[in-house]
Structure 1
Amino acid sequence: MAMPRTGSLLSARLLGTFPKQLVWASASPWSVILRNHQSGYRRPGQPKDKRWLWQRINFDFSKGVDSVEKHLGLLKDEFLQRWVGPEGKPLVEHMLEQTRVMWEFRGPPSLNQWIVSSDQEIGGRSEIYLKLSRNNTTALLYGTLCSVPPRDGETRYSGYISMRSRQPRGLLDRKKPHDLSSFNTLHLRIRGDGRPWMINIGSEGYFSHQQDDMYSYFLYTRGGPYWQDVKIPFSKFFMSSRGRIQDIQHGLFLDKMNTIGFTLGDKADGPFQLEIDFIGVCNDPTHTEEFAYEIYKRNPEV
């Protein structure tokens, strides 16, 4: 039986001016269709889609051949990794690993690992673009933020953009989360324009009511021409569900990390820019904190 999820009274203080819309899409077409069908949400003014689920998928023979080749390659990789070690690394190297670069931008294929979205999905006017820098070694996220809501008579808030990594997939299109249980700190090298961003981490839960859980923390960029190295312990991330911070908090499941993303929604209309060199994780032996926030209990232990 699922536990009730409630919003915390501290949501307004922690979230500030960030929007409550968190746009997350799955890489599987079946999961996207089922999620949209179950939620019942559609853009105001749009007619309801009355087609059957199987009628919404584009069946293509060439697509099927490419999919078979892809999954045969994944089957080969997973079979060989069982003999070598986790993620193709020797077991000793995996146990002694202290740092790991998760995402870096060293060519056009690295951009395919990310998805960008904005409030245009609900009729807004914000624009977002992602491209490589001039030297093809960093990613440049830029665009224009506009907080004017669409004139549909229902939407009251607008003005957000987001960028998130794609969900890793294994054989037969199943989810393949990242195992970061050996690390305790997120390491970023960025160069921003002084705007406050929110870092969102999606983790695979153990129950069905945890599918909308998100772990977030604020990233304050300095602005200017200098690079900024940011280290954020995973214990600092607080949990929210559908944009509301939960009263019952718990730490991030590091062995089930699915995606990481960046959201901007400070209601400051105008251009924005964020340059990213790499995103990695590390193990800081001096950091011993398990969880930074108070955990409320209805019946505390005496």
Structure 2
Amino acid sequence: MTLNFTDTSMVDAEQSRWYAVDDGVMGGVSRSGFRVEKGLGCFCGEVSLENGGGFASVRREPDGFEQTLAHGQGIALRVRGDGRTYQLRLKNSALDEASAYRVVFTPKAHQWETLHVTWAQFEAVRRGTLLSSAPPLDPRTVHQLGFLIADRTAGPFRLEVAFIAPYEQDLHSQG
């Protein structure tokens, strides 16, 4: 199963699954959102460093898609960025609510790229600090996915997502 944004009958349902968790939880004023437009998912907004802030994130409400990811060797995602650094974040039952497994990526500005991330590439973090004692990510326990930007750079950002899917090892060479 692939999460893509091209089915026009599902646009409202998919868009409503995503919600922002920005630095306002700690007094910051960054803002973000996730919208579905023209067959793409778009994580966009503006990062502000005011009031000790500096991050924006979105999370997707679970609907069973997360469990399909475990059928692959990792995750494939097709993205077009703006040259800024992002994180793909996964939550599971092994970590507390303030923690997640992440992989950091910096897509080239204005170019589509297909990234292939193995489960072993994900690292456990809590508020940006690595959790060295956390167990490796078990993809069978993933219950939420999301994106985060925390690159200590103020200003607008835009990450477009064409699809998110499990990938098998033989797809690793495709780009």
Aligned counterparts of 2:147 and 2:171: Cα–Cα separation in 1: 27
Any conservation in 2 of the 1:204–1:253 contact (CA below 8 Å)?
no
Tell me which residue corresponds to 2:152.
Answer: 267
Aligned counterparts of 1:280 and 1:114: Cα–Cα separation in 2: 17
Aligned counterparts of 1:251 and 1:177: Cα–Cα separation in 2: 17
Tell me which residue corresponds to 2:75.
Answer: 186
Tell me which residue corresponds to 1:216.
Answer: 102
Secondary structure of the equivalent of 1:111? helix
Matched, 1:146 2:36: no
Aligned counterparts of 2:114 and 2:140: Cα–Cα separation in 1: 25
Q: Deviations over 1:149-192 (max 9, x none)?
A: 1xxxxxxx3111001111348xxxxxx96254431121001111
Aligned counterparts of 2:117 and 2:40: Cα–Cα separation in 1: 21
Aligned counterparts of 1:228 and 1:179: Cα–Cα separation in 2: 22
Any conservation in 2 of the 1:179–1:254 contact (CA below 8 Å)?
no
Any conservation in 2 of the 1:104–1:110 contact (CA below 8 Å)?
no
Tell me which residue corresponds to 1:162.
Answer: 57
Aligned counterparts of 2:26 and 2:125: Cα–Cα separation in 1: 22
Q: CA deviation at 1:141?
A: 2.2
Gaps of 5+ in 2: none
Q: Aligned match of 2:14 in 90, 107, 110?
A: 110
Specify whether residues 158 and 140 from structure 1 end up closer, same or farther in structure 2 by C-alpha distance, changes over 3 A only. Answer: same
TM superposition score normalised by structure 2:
0.84
Tell me which residue corresponds to 2:114.
Answer: 229
User: What pairs with 1:273-288 in structure 2 (closer than 5 Å)?
Assistant: 273-284=158-169
Aligned counterparts of 2:144 and 2:91: Cα–Cα separation in 1: 5
Any conservation in 1 of the 2:70–2:166 contact (CA below 8 Å)?
no
Aligned counterparts of 1:120 and 1:241: Cα–Cα separation in 2: 17
Aligned counterparts of 2:68 and 2:16: Cα–Cα separation in 1: 21
Tell me which residue corresponds to 1:244.
Answer: 129
Q: CA deviation at 1:254?
A: 1.4
How many residues of Structure 1 are paired with residues of Structure 2 in the alignment? 167
Q: CA deviation at 1:230?
A: 0.9
Aligned counterparts of 2:163 and 2:108: Cα–Cα separation in 1: 17
Q: CA deviation at 1:261?
A: 1.0
Q: Deviations over 1:109-162 (max 9, x none)?
A: 2111211221223332212133232x3x1122222111111xxxxxxx311100
Structure 1 runs (4+) deviating above 6 angstroms are: none
Tell me which residue corresponds to 1:121.
Answer: 25
Secondary structure of the equivalent of 2:25? helix
Q: CA deviation at 1:256?
A: 1.1
Specify whether residues 276 and 237 from structure 1 end up closer, same or farther in structure 2 by C-alpha distance, changes over 3 A only. Answer: same
Report the residue type matching 2:155 in the other structure: G
Whose radius of gyration is greater, 1 or 2? 1
Gaps of 5+ in 1: 1-99, 150-156, 170-175, 288-302
Secondary structure of the equivalent of 1:178? helix
TM superposition score normalised by structure 1:
0.51
Aligned counterparts of 1:273 and 1:124: Cα–Cα separation in 2: 19
Any conservation in 1 of the 2:124–2:132 contact (CA below 8 Å)?
no
The structure in which a higher percent of residues are strand is 2
Any conservation in 1 of the 2:19–2:33 contact (CA below 8 Å)?
no
Report the residue type matching 1:108 in the other structure: D
Specify whether residues 216 and 128 from structure 1 end up closer, same or farther in structure 2 by C-alpha distance, changes over 3 A only. Answer: same
The structure in which a higher percent of residues are helix is 1
Matched, 1:130 2:34: yes
